[in-house]
Amino acid sequence: MAEDDRALPAAEELVLARRALDTGDLEHAAAHVAAALAQAPTLPEVHETLARLVAAGGDGAVDLFPLHHHAFVGTVVARAHLLAAAGRPAEGLDLLVAATNHAPGTDWAGVPWVTTPDLAERLDPDRTARVLMQVCAAAPDPVPRAGRAALAAYLTLARNAVTVHPEHGLLLGAASALARRLGEVPLAVRWATRGVRVAPSKIGEVWLGYAYRSAGRTRDALAALTRAVAHDPDDLAVYADIAGTLADDGRLDEALDWIDRALARDPSFDCAVHTAHRLRHQRDGDVAHLVALADFVRDHPDDSHEHGDLAECCRGLPWLGQVTPADGPVADALRRVVADDHLGLGVAVRLDVPVPPSALRTLVTTAPGLRVEMADGVDPDPREPRRPTARRLWRYTDTTVEPAVPAPSPEACERVRQLAHPAWPHPPAAYDGAVGLATLDLSDLLGLLVHPPEAPSTALGRVLGGQDPALWVRSVQVWACLGLLHHRTDEPWDDSTRRRVLLDLVWGVEDWVTEAALFALVTAAWVHPAVRADVARVVADRLDDVAQVARLRPVPIAVSVAHLALATPDLAPGARALATALAGIRPPTTDARGVRALLNRVRRFLGTVVRRR
């Protein structure tokens, strides 16, 4: 199904349609009516014009709206209305549901012929049940409040159908599933309860279990789902449903017992595998479960349906689902500058601890009037690479720092502006998302690390650039390093340019870039099992170096590096223990909690919907 790029207002389309009707040009009139329907599907004037078209076209009017492989949505909806008017409402309703599945936020069905009680009397109840199930299949559970009005006509159809066919079990269950999604939970419970009473079945008990679960009646939900298993012991998806319900109720051991029962029947059943890894990670926090789940997803691309377990587990976790907030005195100063436009005027900031050059550069560019005073004689010198490297990104002069590489091209800046954000569903998704940077030159990718462009003028960009510039800079650096993973991928990993450059960045001066480069390596290990041993050694070595320096002076990136290590596949147990200790060096500060709240708002732009039956 396709959209129309013309985007004329519906009123203008109707004017053009009427002109075409006046001249007898029915094909052009139909095209304009379809365009108007696509923009205003419930507008009475649109349907009045459609009725004029039917009067002019007679029995052949429906053929003015032909269906083909990429039919325009307005054409599909117009044909639906004409089929209903011609005494074929079931066919018309099928087309409206197709439009709803294409654009569920539009009220395609909010017209009198759908909501009238007569339609429910004319339709076979099995057909109505299938229609409601098709609507549910494309709707989130629950539907956000703002999107419920667009589906209200289908709930009216369900009410009318249940009134006409009060003892039809399949219809009652499907109606319950729709009511639950639209927030009518007590109604969903009543309909599902009646459905399993008049026609006991596995799917009826599943619908009842979900209705009880939405109502907060966990014991009743588990009882219904257990009865569903009794109906069909081979439907392992229900085992996963029971496990998820038990886990939500805090009964993790029982949940895992149900999952083990499912896996004993079929070790490769996707729902059970996803749920098992999610629950085991929930139990002990070991990233190995999530890596195993990512491997399963990669090796089984044809799963029965979409799962959100990996994203659910990674959401909000440092580096697994988001960049860690910047920490330290510069980060705190940046947030104060953003909160108070006058703070940088003639004010001096005294820095007695090492400061990542990216942080210092972001501070002075955000508040040009701010005076920065830095302590001397810190050892080991944070301005020197931790190991010899082939390239340096920064040049120090007294208390200032300047980029040591050229600025990136405008094209590179625009590409990263479109991609960069501080949250992602999980590391493999971040890797896939960065493929748009694959064709950038190495000089551009390095330039982005120290010459980050301004945040875009989107809602997300305004949140990042306006409330925490450090978060935007760190996001750009993360995505630039992810872009390096796609650089010259034809080269074998061990001797590749991408590995060599990332190692230079990892062992350079202590900086936000260090974290971004380490995250790129960790992501490579998630995506490519063959590089895991190499990446685990690099991360362990860098972590050990951080720990040694931290015994002598503060290391601003220490906690973040520890979290990166905890996200690394196949990390040695000793390194994992060290990372666990370093990650607990200090509790979250008030400012850090504020940034996490900001990240929660950012994730609204990146939410993952997990659908239920």
Per-residue model confidence as pLDDT tens digits over 520-556: 999 999 999 999 999 999 999 999 999 999 999 999 9
Of the candidates 194, 314, 356, the one whose C-alpha atom is nearest the C-alpha of residue 563 is 314
Least confident of 123-137, 278-292, 304-318, 499-513: 304-318
Q: Give me the number of domains the chain comprises.
A: 1
Of the candidates 319, 373, 599, 596, the one whose C-alpha atom is nearest the C-alpha of residue 482 is 319
pLDDT digits (tens, 9 = 90+) for 321-372: 999 988 777 777 777 776 665 555 556 677 777 789 999 899 888 877 777 7
**pLDDT band at residue 304 using 50, 70 and 90 as cut-offs:** low
CA 606 to chain centre: 4
Cα distance between residue 402 and residue 587, in whole Å? 32
Cα distance between residue 170 and residue 192, in whole Å? 9
% of the chain at pLDDT higher than 70: 91
Asked whether residue 553 is domain-assigned, the answer is yes
Of the candidates 449, 423, 426, 386, the one whose C-alpha atom is nearest the C-alpha of residue 567 is 426
Cα distance between residue 294 and residue 403, in whole Å? 37
3 state SS of 373:
strand
Averaged pLDDT for residues 394-402: 84
**Residue 566 sits in which domain range?**
405-606
Asked whether residue 203 is domain-assigned, the answer is no
Asked whether residue 562 is domain-assigned, the answer is yes
pLDDT at 278: 96
Task: Return the structure tokens found at 477.
Answer: 């650096």
pLDDT at 587: 38
pLDDT at 600: 57
Averaged pLDDT for residues 491-517: 97
Contact 358, 450 (CB under 8 A): yes
pTM: 0.83
Averaged pLDDT for residues 389-408: 90
Asked whether residue 363 is domain-assigned, the answer is no
- Asked whether residue 396 carries a pLDDT value surpassing 70, the answer given is yes
- Asked whether residue 178 carries a pLDDT value surpassing 90, the answer given is yes
Cα distance between residue 111 and residue 83, in whole Å? 14
pLDDT at 2: 61
pLDDT at 115: 97
3 state SS of 519:
helix
- Asked whether residue 605 carries a pLDDT value surpassing 50, the answer given is no
How many of the other CB atoms lie within 10 Å of CB of 365? 11
Asked whether residue 455 is domain-assigned, the answer is yes
Asked whether residue 580 is domain-assigned, the answer is yes
pLDDT digits (tens, 9 = 90+) for 553-603: 999 999 999 999 999 999 999 999 999 999 984 434 434 445 455 555 555
pLDDT digits (tens, 9 = 90+) for 245-289: 999 999 999 999 999 999 999 999 999 999 999 999 999 999 999
Write out the H or E segment, with its range, that includes residue 400: strand 400-403
Contact 181, 610 (CB under 8 A): no
Report how far apart, in Å, the C-alpha atoms of 242 and of each of 8, 226, 227, 262 are.
Answer: 50, 7, 11, 11
Asked whether residue 124 is domain-assigned, the answer is no
* Helix extents (H) in 61-181: 73-85, 89-102, 112-115, 117-122, 125-137, 152-164, 169-181
**pLDDT band at residue 305 using 50, 70 and 90 as cut-offs:** low
pLDDT at 589: 45
Least confident of 1-15, 52-66, 95-109, 294-308: 1-15
Asked whether residue 546 is domain-assigned, the answer is yes
